[in-house]
Amino acid sequence: MRSRPSPRALPRLSRRTTGASLVAALLLAFAPPLSPGPAAAVLIATGTGAENTSAPNPDPGFARLGVVNGLSGVYFRNGWVLTANHVGTGTFWLGGTGYLPVSGSTVRMSNPDGTLADLIAFKLSTRPPIADVALTNASPSVNTLITVIGNGFSRGPSITWENVDGWEWASPRRMRWGTNRISTIDELVFATQAFSITFDEIANPPNGQHEADMVTGDSGGGAFVGSGASAELVGILFARASFAGQEPNTSFFGNRGFIVNLFAYREDLLALVDQPDCNDGIDEDGDGLVDFPADPGCAFGIDPSENTDAFQCDNGIDDDGDLTIDFPADSGCLHPTNPIEAPEPAAASSLAVAAFGLALAARRKRSAAARAREGFQTSSTRSTR
């Protein structure tokens, strides 16, 4: 094992430091500074570095990782996606399918003092066919083994710097998973409550463990404990720190990654995502009508969907195959309660006949009114003679 750079290059970060002083310490101690930016796939120290681009069995959460704005996002549950604030809201690409976000649904998490964290949630207009995942109900502990997953660059050629081993980053960008152990807790990074991992050199890692470094491109990725049905989401990847003088686009043993501590935001997250569609103040189906009783797709306040199967113009399906869905997007829908997305020929004919009948009736009514006026005028003229 090679030695790391001088300890002076890696001063100990104080716990629960204010955002400003922590950034200043990182600016002095690390290069580049710890700043949210384009994030990438986790880099692993095992094998050739090209492995782990498909889910392990059992899966800790790989199937719910998607791409947002070229970076990463995690499908949580009830239609909600979690990602870093600096990643932003956008189409959530999962398994080759793009899921559009609901306009106006983005919520940024805040701290007890009112400062805003680098963590957002936004809702999808349609839900991926993925089961819910549990949110951790306990604060993470040091030395806990976690699985980290993100989208981005791969491991390139090996390099040595200041007697420390590492790798350059290389294309292509791929979704990849790796493992690590929590090294610190109770961090405050960019006004975000977080914990960290350290990229350690492990001579003979246990089977199934792949020491991972968070590299540029990981932002918005997920951190999980357990696997399969027992998996829990514990964090969202959002920042990293490297040695002073370290070349960009490189990973060296001793680099650190910072992960949003979702337990710190648990109550607010659950209060947000566990509301039924018909009582959350969001126009999920985009028809301009929000919640029960205003939206006809809501049978009651705890209805889990603003869509209804009773009306094609409010069922979330492109029934007539014209690539537009429901009211108001589909021109065949004049209201969410229209039974079909496009008028049938018979219906159109009936409408035309009805319109002609109304027009004829209107003309007859005007003629009758005109005759009545003529009669009144004749009568009036005679009476004055």
Residue 231: per-residue pLDDT: 96
Residue 172: per-residue pLDDT: 80
Task: Give the integer Cα–Cα distance in Å for 260 and 39.
Answer: 14
| 263 in Cβ contact with 235 (< 8 Å) | no
Residue 363: per-residue pLDDT: 53
Residue 341: per-residue pLDDT: 86
Residue 153: per-residue pLDDT: 79
Residue 306: per-residue pLDDT: 67
Residue 54: per-residue pLDDT: 94
Residue 376: per-residue pLDDT: 40
Mean pLDDT by 10 residues, the chain (385 residues): 45 32 31 36 89 94 95 95 97 96 96 97 95 94 97 90 94 90 96 96 93 88 96 96 90 95 97 89 86 85 78 87 89 88 54 43 50 46 36
Residue 315: per-residue pLDDT: 86
Q: How far is CA 270 from the centre of its chain?
A: 15
1-9 long-range CB contacts below 8 Å, 24 or more apart?
1/201, 1/203, 2/160, 2/163, 2/164, 2/165, 2/201, 2/253, 3/163, 3/164, 4/162, 4/163, 4/164, 4/253, 4/254, 5/162, 5/163, 5/164, 5/243, 5/244, 5/254, 9/243, 9/244, 9/245
Residue 362: per-residue pLDDT: 47
* Largest pairwise CA distance in the chain: 126
Task: Give the integer Cα–Cα distance in Å for 74 and 121.
Answer: 10
